[in-house]
Amino acid sequence: MFKLTDKTTIITGGGSGIGKAMSVLFAKQGAEVHIIELNNDAADETVKEIKTNGGKAFSYPCDVSNQQQVVSIFEKIGRIDILINNAGIAHIGRADNTAEEDFDRIYNVNVKGVYNCLFAAIPLMKAGKGGVILNTASIAASVGITDRFAYSTSKGAIRAMTLSVARDFLHEGIRCNSISPARVHTPFVDGFIAKNYPGKEAEMFEKLSKTQPIGRMAQPEEVAALALYLCSDEAGFITGCDYPIDGGFITLNN
């Protein structure tokens, strides 16, 4: 089950964190993984790890907010069976203290970046008679998160785009779903804590972990496992859905 043998898979932001876990797992399941990543060194390290374990992987330095770059790379890859729109950036702030340049930066990566990849991939999927698209949203698209105005806005857009694409290409063999993680223990989290709470890293890690009712953060590999299922043939009857992976955050945090 859940084999992806020879399925051409594009994963944006596939060099670290959740994206890296997806890249490694999908390659292990037989996919040919193409990593689209702004941090080329991180992408190359992930590719090296995959190849060392006998998998197929390639990396491409790319700013997903640049449509010309995205289209050029996608056309070079050619056939696309699976697209995972995972690249994204975070921001802390409310509606009254988020600077315009910060709002634009979040929009350009988290929203326009996904649009650019959809714009480039869908014609190739249509030519190939189908495909699977998975977008990384967030629990911030479903519940109010303190000081996350621009980020929440962008992730709400991801859920809306997921529904739109699922509807528009339903009869062209293209499925589109999204996943909504809560806090996931990635290098980004460790870096955020170290930067903002020097000397209190362990205390803050424990505090952030406990905000999930289950009592801990998710591991990137757990999110990757959900992505694998949704992109596999076994999930062929699923489209237009969002899947929280949140340790009970949405439904039990009251």
3-state secondary structure labels for all residues of 2-66: CCCCCCEEEEECCCCHHHHHHHHHHHHCCCEEEEEECCHHHHHHHHHHHHHCCCEEEEEECCCCC
SS3 1: coil
Minimal CA–CA distance to 87: which of 5, 158, 3? 158
Provide the token pair at 229: 């299922």
Sign of CA dihedral 56, 15, 173, 232: positive
Tokens 């996919």 sit on residue:
31
- Closest C-alpha to 188, from 66, 36, 86, 95: 86
Active site residues: 151
> Which H/E stretch holds residue 85?
strand 82-85
